[in-house]
Chains A and B, each alone.
Chain A
């Protein structure tokens, strides 16, 4: 695997408060990884994701994605970088209400000057929402809206898929399905960085859990995936045979 993302001594200071600030964060993510960033609210985990996405700039330190130092890009260059390399999935979907599902999915491609309705329909099919192509977001369930948002994030075949609490606004079952989908994309080679506070969901798909607290990385755990038998993982304990 080759390195895709590198944060070096990244600090982010916000005026008027410390919430979400980062303090000297260094971390690298390999191509093909599915890594989860976990931490309490205000710990800086979303800030990390926004810096990697080029949605925000660090106060100091460097952010490199696919060999490009984002600090060296101007606003237009950063916008191009985001369009060409980053897919972003948010907690609250952010679909444009006056466009249909299909039109929403096509926005990033149109910004790039590509008209790829074939690719969009392929994604609709892959994400099992083919039937909603011509519907407006208000008529879709939360799960369907998030699938449309994922399709929109994937339309330009991004190098990196970033997801910030993608299941936060969904019920457990729908959230599981959305995570299953991300797992599937990862199995097909997609690099994914996921911000979540749900350790159950994170560990199901991500083999790496980066813990952030108070603007610092406090742990970086790489998890194993052996096929353990039930008795190796759980032991239901019995009493001694009663007399």
Chain B
């Protein structure tokens, strides 16, 4: 054992550890060129892998002979139709399918710039169902951009590379979104909870004690912090309890989307009012919505883009 510490390889070990230590300090909280390179190499592999799993899941779904027959018939019809189409039909169709999901969202909010994306990675070391999507800064994604599905908000971009970005979900305690009860206008902060995240539930905290919320109410974003657009649907009230720590109401929210298993999402890259902090908001809410960005709020809060 004593000899081990005088061995040349032990000196190399110390050298490598020093380099890695410097790397930890330098890259804490920032994406790096190393991340970019690894993503560049592994992204196509990841996309192939995701495609293969989707195909395998389709193939393994158990269906009755009648259903299979109807599937075959519809596929034969589709095949006939496709033969008459252009060579790039598949690509265009895929894009249209993705965009169609967000058509109603876009129709209701013409100011939204919606960028459809596919979930390409869910790391086993992630604690609150964060995931990586196949869109990055090249596509116009910025840190803190809201991530949605056709059913509503699922999270926000916490790290951006050139070709991919990492999304923190609304099930994470790191997420803090200013929200309102659409019926009563009671406000609060949507955040994740270690206890509820496995059941696809999040919580609404900082709700006033004299609230009039009830089960089934729809919760939407308040848009007051300038990070998330206004009136983006989040979920419904499932239960109202008292927080055991501060005795304030703790509202359990059931998101409209199963955040744990989303496979395709969209990033709202721009919207009217982005980066504008409403002056009419309560101080608490404004603080809470941007609290997790306190370290780099200057990067995120910028003048609204006039469209």
Partners in one complex: no
